[in-house]
Structure 1
Amino acid sequence: MAPALPRRTLLQAALLGTAAPAMTYAATGRAAAATVPAPSAWTLRPFELKDVELGPGVFAAKRRLMLDHGRGYDVNRLLQVFRAGAGLSTGGAVAPGGWEGLDGEANGNLRGHYTGHFLTMLSQSYASTGDQAYADKIRTMVGALTEVRDALRRDPRVLSVTGRFGTAHENVRGSYQYIDLRAAVLGGAPAITLSAWVKPTHDANWTRVFDFGDNTTRYLYLAARNGSGVPRFAITTGGPGGEQALNGTAALPLDRWSHLAVTISGSTGTLYVNGAAVARNTSMTLNPAALGTLRNNWLGRSNFSADPVFAGALDEFNIWSRALTAAEITALQNDPASATPAGRGDLASYDFSETTGGTFADASGRGLTATLRRTWGGPSHPGFLAAYPETQFIELESMTSGDYTKVWAPYYTAHKILKGLLDAHLATDDDRALDLASGMCDWMHSQLSKLPDATLQRMWGIFSSGEFGGIVETIVDLHSITGRAEHLALAKLFDLDRLIDACAANTDTLDGLHANQHIPIFTGYVRLYDATGETRYLTAAKNFWGMVVPHRMYGIGGTSTAEFWKARGVIAGTISDTNAESCCAYNMLKLSRMLFFHDQDPKYMDYYERALYNQVLGSKQDKADAEKPLVTYFIGLRPGHVRDYTPKQGTTCCEGTGMESATKYQDSVYFKKADSSALYVNLYSPSTLTWSEKGVTVTQTTDYPREQGSTLTVGGGSAAFELKLRVPSWATSGFRVTVNGSAVSGTPAAGSYFTVPSRTWRSGDTIRVTVPFRLRVEKALDDPSLQTLFYGPVNLVGRDASTSHLQVGLYGNAALSGDLLPSLTPVPGRPLHYTLNGVEFAPFHEGTEDPTHAYVRRSEPKVVFGNTDSEVANPAKPDGTTLLDEIWAGAPFANKGALVTRVRSTVNSWVSAGLLSQVDGQKVVTTAQNARYVD
């Protein structure tokens, strides 16, 4: 019997027979831009960003800050690391720093990710506004990345710059380039002079001007900077411990030409800097002849692999088979060697006059042509595009544990770039962007399809190094446009089977996992369900969502502590400065949205409102900045925490997703049924929907969440459809809908969608939605006394510098409805701002730098009704439930009498249980009878 084919092989064979879907186009007011076809499995469909225009309000204000940042930012700064990696001119651009550069955390091993985010942000900005400035930036970036990919595919080429004399060659930092000289370059000469003009652009120690050797035992080198930052020449046949050296006295200046020369004659070696002898050793016993013919003869590269490659320009490198005199070296300062008494080097002479190609001619007459090379190997494979070498991806394949200083999530970064390119194509219809994206997937498929399943499973399970973000979602989206079977096969190669199988079985294995490494995986698996029909993907995603919400969710909608999940149900026990990584909220919103397309369970949109109106809005600072997007990494829930809007020097993953969030706030305000028979209003947000298919507009006029409701007005024409209005789960009473002033029949249920039956809507029809707010608390799952305050959808935070939880009582003047708001005092002229016990409470979504308290300690020491104190201590049961808790659990009360009846029955029960004395019980009842209440 023939051996069974692996599951992946069978899948790929099946996929090769799938038909390619046609590319679809959506008409816009600007140009025909491609769209990702909506999966047939979606029972709802989103509108495009261009179809929903935000009106004045908190979302528009936050978005304007981000739009201005993106519009003004020089994208050449982002392209710097890509161009450098390809050996192209960076035009003097300076990378933004932080994670997006060579000097950031973990040696810049995540560089390139932020460029992808920025492309997505620009694409969303252009799709929303039609502002050509964003399209121009997109085209600049796509054009540059196309040049980068082409450069990576070939051998390195000369980068000609202005030299000390004529032209010079520049090794751009990050290009990993060096010049390889022939083995005979030293010629076995016992006496020698080596001379070079250098213009270093970076101050890394141990960068070599030249290094000739066999290994790390037998060599001679000239370092532009030694461990003390000054030039050093050394020669040895016994490794570092046997070096005979010459050390300079001062560091070479950056971005300025300096001349270095070394002479050896007999027992004397001399180091010259700019014509002056700065070091002399008269006890040398080694010279090039003692080393013999050496294998590695390099300009700009060290025989010690950990040493950095020289970054800067090289001009006029000469080697003479004698020691030049001091006068001859002085003469080299002002003229090319060929115009001085010394003449060109007789062993080797390179003036770097080349402006094309990848070799340098030797003018010594010996014909020792030099070749430009990269330390990380030959040209990249077709389709590869990154700001660092393929080795990052290849090394991951043999790793068994994570080490982000060596390999930091290369497929995560690939996802951001891939997503940015796909979004660029969708926004501008630039075929170059689609070609780059498709090529990246071709390269990944060629790389990953060769690996055994066991290797893939190990890779994707490695913390940090194996993180791949939402790459599966983007690959499936790309496949829906290209129809390429290998693209869908590639998406399947990211299956993390143990996670999928556990979640499909509803087995919670999330404790200890890195949160944002796993959340975006599931958006991809939902899309794989759409593409393949394999139900385990969708089942796993739904169950996973339920493991996070509410079991690992903070009140603001965020999740994770120091990027990780702790034990299920532990909220109070994880409060810290590192709660709620902003990327987690971004990805949970995406997952919630996608699940809602399949299953219109209102819980998904309830979560969406919670996280969007609180954490996501609150993660963006309310301040303009041309340099940074000002978005939190960890939002922090520790008492007195001050939000950091420029974390880790900027350009983090969360600032990237924050840029995306702020330019797509409108993407889930409205959905439509797949057959366009119904319009879903998910969020109450000032906005105008242009429903071209129906020939109508729907405009929401509201100051929500400052206003407790919204007015929707139909415009443009007439159309028939059903209207589905979300009733938030917190809207437990008073939700009302009128059409043209007449009440719509039906009983709205909290946590549902209220249906206005299908009718032919005409221009001018008006729908008024009333959504009464009330102040309520949500208790931490593991400590009911630790609570967070909500007024309608808005999380209210105390602004106080104390680092201990604020003690808060809320029953003192509670309304008969159960609304706790009357216990707070409104701040005049500042909607949604209140004071309590001298502390201001304000919306979480305000992006200030005030110290905040998202959670407070509930403290109701006395039984108080209507601000009347009974002078009776508020007793508690062993589980922490107090007498007042049990009384107010019966709210709303129709009138004062209903409340008093509840008080009397509860008191009697507690007296009978021995939890309250008869005398104190009577005081409580009397106080309740005499108090005055807010309705």
Structure 2
Amino acid sequence: MRSTRREMMLGAATLALLGRGGGAGAAMAAATALPRTARPLPLSDVRLHASDYATAVDVNRTYLLRLNADRLLHNFRLYAGLKPKGEIYGGWESDTIAGHTLGHYMTALVRMHEQTGDAAVRTRADYIVDELAAAQAARGNGYIGAMQRKRKDGKVVDAIEIFPEIMQGDIRSGGFDLNGAWSPFYTVHKLFAGLLDIHESWGNPKALAVAVAFAGYFEPVFSALNDAQMQEMLGTEYGGLNESYAELSARTGDKRYLAVAGRLYDRKVLDPLENREDKLANFHANTQVPKLIGLARIHELTGDPGKATAASFFWQAVTQHHSYVIGGNADREYFSAPATIAMHITEQTCEHCNTYNMLKLTRQLYSWSPDGALFDYYERAHLNHVMAAQDPKTAGFTYMTPLLTGAVRGYSTPADDAFWCCVGTGMESHAKHGESIFWEGDAGKGKALLVNLYIPAEATWRARGASLVLATKYPFEGTSTLTLAKLGTPGHFPIALRVPNWAAGKALVTVNGAPVRPAFARGYAIVERRWKAGDSLAITLPLDLRIEPTPGDDKTIAILRGPMVMAADLGSTEGNWSSPDPALVGDDLLARFTPAAQPATYTTSGIARPADLTFVPFYRQYERRSAVYFKRFSEGAWKTEEAAFIADQARRRDIAARSVDVVHLGEMQPEHDHGLISELSFPVSYRNRNGRDARSGGFFEFTVNAKPGPLVLQATYWGDERATDFDIMVDNVKVATQHLGGDQPGKFMDVDYPLPIGLTQGKTQLRVRFVPHAKRTAGPVFGVILFSAKPAT
């Protein structure tokens, strides 16, 4: 992995400190005190103490036990010819992606058992395995599944019927569906992951047997495809199925599974990454991250350096050029061009699944070569995004974590009627907050301990027969104290405490209350000495406010305190947000922040426009509106730009206020939510915009919500499009014929289509269809808005 800016900064700080106490020789000694590889202490050996993290685990445990396994198993039994034992859940579980939640649920139960020792969750996981084994035996072919397939006639059936079609080379996808099923291999991966996690955690042999038989069903499906057909199929989301097959090979020793894992390789996405090329713009983000986790696992089993390069480069590209301040990534589920975050601060930022998977990849890369820079990112995303994605009052989970000023977080409800992908990753994430605090590795002649997260907890360190207690109120207070409450084998070994980049050169370390001068290397303060039971090691990190400019736009900034993203509290989520976005004006902004009585709370004086603000931790804004990003102005620049800034905000609010419905074409979830159907139609991307076209003989059609009064349908096109003609139909009535052909070169253009009042009167929904003329293309269309016409003046 190439050097990062963080490493260079820490390197300079290290040399400065070591220059007072030993020079280059001490630096080299410090580096050798760190292990070359690392592994986390088992989650089952870590118990959380009181904190927001412990609360999240407790809330999630109640949620997991509230869910009914038989309801999640409904379709598995139904399609196996067995009588269901529970009514099917709603939301995604009643759609063609049914069954994905059960895979997440199995893994969540495993992690919850490891984190808490609760026997009830283990019993439930074993029950699910028994039920899946029974459904598999009833089918008699190794397959298990709840997925559904929607036929052309609208009938919904067992999705198993798509796989013989695929074996015949009949592969049909609009980008997110596959022969009428919704991302089927994504769901298959989740089931594999759950089964393998149950087998790994407590050795349930039936879980492995079900997984092996399941893998056996798909082997002939994949082997029937030539390389071109395989690539065509892999154009549809397949999750981390390559990881599952690689792991199955590791468990069984059967190299056939590793060969399958190698074929599950999407060249369009992964080849550039192996060549260290960032071509991620306009790719669906969470479709890609699991592929790299799989490549990393294949590298571990084969030593293939290209796979390691792709995984490491992807991590660097995403964290340095495609991530928001809270550590999440993607706008409306898609990567934008590198360093364009400031152009994509919307209500659809930061899908939780992406960060869940990025944290998995981070742990993998860290285990290969411990480096504090990896956990600087991990801490940021874990604290500011993952912790924001669960409402501790309701146990609900977010899909997106919006960073648009004034936006409301939308949590799943206690009615359990959502089951989005992010509900699945949410139930996993909040079952395992202790998994990455403590790590160990071989250093010198013994074991080294590394502390990567400052979360109050106790742990058993078996390699030393030690009981560890980490006491801290971080990130609200700066000091964290590690006590060796028990040490079965006292001795000389290193303990490494992570020093975040923002604290480089400023960390204070004590042993048994007395200051010491640690060695510094790779983002760690390292104390190597003869340790005995009762010894304590403490680190104090400065928690000063700082400004972080947005990559690519230093006039768009965020405020942080230590690892914690701060947000301006804009009030209750009730009602509509209609105020202007706040801006920060002045040459020394931080000097005008004053600490308030509440922990990690500040008020501004004279720098905020239109009024002073109170800043609080972003992740705790569960039921509040926030501002995270701010435009920064000097006093002179503000006077010049204030009018244009306010006018732009007013224009945006006017559009939002009159919008009845918005359709983001070419994007999986919005298209699904609007009931899109199509023939000979494909998602497209161009100049950082996603859209959809239809080829000659095809069409695409979707539903928009309507309301009383005059309505206008607006479509967005590229203004320099090649010549084409198509019709726009609303409820089977042609409302316009659109010609494109260089109308507005060099920019996107919006075209308005006022709808006849007789066509919309009394309707709450409209069906919109784009139909190309013969030998022409409809679109591409880069989004559609239905809005109320302005009153006549």
**Please, what TM-score do these two structures have when normalized by structure 1?**
0.59
Query: Contact (CA 8 Å) 2:36, 2:370: kept in 1 or not?
Result: no
C-alpha spacing 1:155/1:438, structure 2 compared with 1 (3 Å): closer
Match of 1:456 in 2: 230
Alpha-carbon distance in 2 for matches of 1:743, 1:392? 70
Alpha-carbon distance in 2 for matches of 1:772, 1:449? 57
Query: Contact (CA 8 Å) 2:167, 2:225: kept in 1 or not?
Result: no
Alpha-carbon distance in 1 for matches of 2:281, 2:511? 49
Give how far 1:634 is off.
1.1
Equivalence map 1:685-764=2 (5 Å): 685-717=455-487, 718-746=490-518, 752-757=523-528, 759-764=529-534
Alpha-carbon distance in 2 for matches of 1:174, 1:862? 60
- Paired letter, 1:112: G
Give how far 1:744 is off.
2.0
1:315-368 deviations in Å (ceiling 9; x for gaps): xxxxxxxxxxxxxxxxxxxxxxxxxxxxxxxxxxxxxxxxxxxxxxxxxxxxxx
Query: Contact (CA 8 Å) 1:621, 1:847: kept in 2 or not?
Result: no
C-alpha spacing 1:48/1:389, structure 2 compared with 1 (3 Å): farther
Match of 1:398 in 2: 171
C-alpha spacing 1:712/1:862, structure 2 compared with 1 (3 Å): farther
Match of 1:611 in 2: 381
Match of 1:321 in 2: none
Percent of aligned positions that are identical: 32
Name the structure where helix makes up a greater proportion of residues: 2
- Paired letter, 2:177: Y
- Paired letter, 1:806: P
Match of 1:658 in 2: 426
Match of 2:596 in 1: 827
1:269-288 deviations in Å (ceiling 9; x for gaps): xxxxxxxxxxxxxxxxxxxx
- Paired letter, 1:109: T
Alpha-carbon distance in 1 for matches of 2:165, 2:121? 32
- Paired letter, 1:745: R
Query: Contact (CA 8 Å) 2:569, 2:625: kept in 1 or not?
Result: yes
1:696-732 deviations in Å (ceiling 9; x for gaps): 0221001111111200000222244211111101114
C-alpha spacing 1:455/1:754, structure 2 compared with 1 (3 Å): same
Give how far 1:49 is off.
0.8
Alpha-carbon distance in 1 for matches of 2:433, 2:99? 25
Q: 2:263 matched to 1:493?
A: yes
1:96-134 deviations in Å (ceiling 9; x for gaps): 211112xxxxxx121110000001000111122221110
Gaps of 5+ in 1: 1-40, 102-107, 157-172, 177-203, 205-303, 310-374, 377-385, 815-819, 864-872, 877-935
Alpha-carbon distance in 2 for matches of 1:61, 1:387? 41
Equivalence map 1:878-893=2 (5 Å): none
Give how far 1:443 is off.
2.1
1:32-76 deviations in Å (ceiling 9; x for gaps): xxxxxxxxx981112211111111111101111101111232211
2:565 to 795, 808, 812: 795
SS in 2 for 1:665: coil
Alpha-carbon distance in 2 for matches of 1:175, 1:600? 43
Q: Which has the larger radius of gyration?
A: 1
SS in 2 for 1:764: coil
Q: 2:632 matched to 1:858?
A: yes
Alpha-carbon distance in 2 for matches of 1:43, 1:598? 5
Query: Contact (CA 8 Å) 2:96, 2:147: kept in 1 or not?
Result: no
Match of 1:540 in 2: 310
C-alpha spacing 1:551/1:535, structure 2 compared with 1 (3 Å): same
Query: Contact (CA 8 Å) 1:687, 1:699: kept in 2 or not?
Result: yes
1:82 to 76, 84, 90: 76
Alpha-carbon distance in 2 for matches of 1:428, 1:849? 39
Give how far 1:427 is off.
2.7
Q: 2:140 matched to 1:146?
A: no
Give how far 1:842 is off.
1.5
- Paired letter, 2:398: T
- Paired letter, 1:99: W
Query: Contact (CA 8 Å) 1:824, 1:834: kept in 2 or not?
Result: yes
1:852-876 deviations in Å (ceiling 9; x for gaps): 112122234279xxxxxxxxx9999
SS in 1 for 2:321: coil
Q: 2:195 matched to 1:421?
A: yes
Alpha-carbon distance in 2 for matches of 1:711, 1:832? 20
Query: Contact (CA 8 Å) 1:126, 1:427: kept in 2 or not?
Result: no
- Paired letter, 1:132: A
Alpha-carbon distance in 2 for matches of 1:720, 1:468? 48
Alpha-carbon distance in 1 for matches of 2:464, 2:267? 44
C-alpha spacing 1:659/1:744, structure 2 compared with 1 (3 Å): same
Q: After superposing the two structures, state which structure 1 stretch, 41-50 or 788-797, moved more.
A: 41-50
Give how far 1:390 is off.
4.3
Alpha-carbon distance in 2 for matches of 1:519, 1:660? 17
Match of 2:401 in 1: 635
SS in 2 for 1:100: helix
Alpha-carbon distance in 1 for matches of 2:142, 2:474? 58
Alpha-carbon distance in 2 for matches of 1:445, 1:42? 37
Match of 1:97 in 2: 90
C-alpha spacing 1:760/1:449, structure 2 compared with 1 (3 Å): farther
SS in 1 for 2:224: coil
Alpha-carbon distance in 2 for matches of 1:847, 1:666? 23
Give how far 1:578 is off.
0.6
C-alpha spacing 1:400/1:70, structure 2 compared with 1 (3 Å): closer
Give how far 1:641 is off.
0.7
- Paired letter, 2:581: H
Give how far 1:479 is off.
2.1
Give how far 1:662 is off.
0.6
- Paired letter, 1:677: K
Alpha-carbon distance in 2 for matches of 1:649, 1:834? 38
1:80-111 deviations in Å (ceiling 9; x for gaps): 121122221113x222211112xxxxxx1211
- Paired letter, 1:595: L
Give how far 1:835 is off.
2.6
SS in 2 for 1:635: coil
SS in 1 for 2:185: helix
| Residues matched between the structures, number | 587
Query: Contact (CA 8 Å) 2:497, 2:524: kept in 1 or not?
Result: yes
Query: Contact (CA 8 Å) 1:82, 1:388: kept in 2 or not?
Result: no
Alpha-carbon distance in 2 for matches of 1:76, 1:672? 40
Alpha-carbon distance in 1 for matches of 2:612, 2:137? 64
Alpha-carbon distance in 1 for matches of 2:313, 2:303? 17
Query: Contact (CA 8 Å) 1:469, 1:521: kept in 2 or not?
Result: yes
Q: 2:52 matched to 1:58?
A: yes
Query: Contact (CA 8 Å) 1:111, 1:388: kept in 2 or not?
Result: no
Query: Contact (CA 8 Å) 1:109, 1:404: kept in 2 or not?
Result: no
1:556-584 deviations in Å (ceiling 9; x for gaps): 00100111111111011111111111111
Query: Contact (CA 8 Å) 1:396, 1:459: kept in 2 or not?
Result: no
Alpha-carbon distance in 2 for matches of 1:451, 1:484? 21
1:132-171 deviations in Å (ceiling 9; x for gaps): 1101111221111111111222799xxxxxxxxxxxxxxx
Gaps of 5+ in 2: 1-34, 571-576, 605-610, 642-793
Alpha-carbon distance in 1 for matches of 2:602, 2:130? 52
Match of 1:646 in 2: 412
Match of 1:596 in 2: 366
**Please, what TM-score do these two structures have when normalized by structure 2?**
0.70
- Paired letter, 1:825: T
Query: Contact (CA 8 Å) 1:81, 1:387: kept in 2 or not?
Result: no
C-alpha spacing 1:756/1:747, structure 2 compared with 1 (3 Å): closer
Alpha-carbon distance in 2 for matches of 1:649, 1:394? 35
Query: Contact (CA 8 Å) 1:639, 1:802: kept in 2 or not?
Result: no
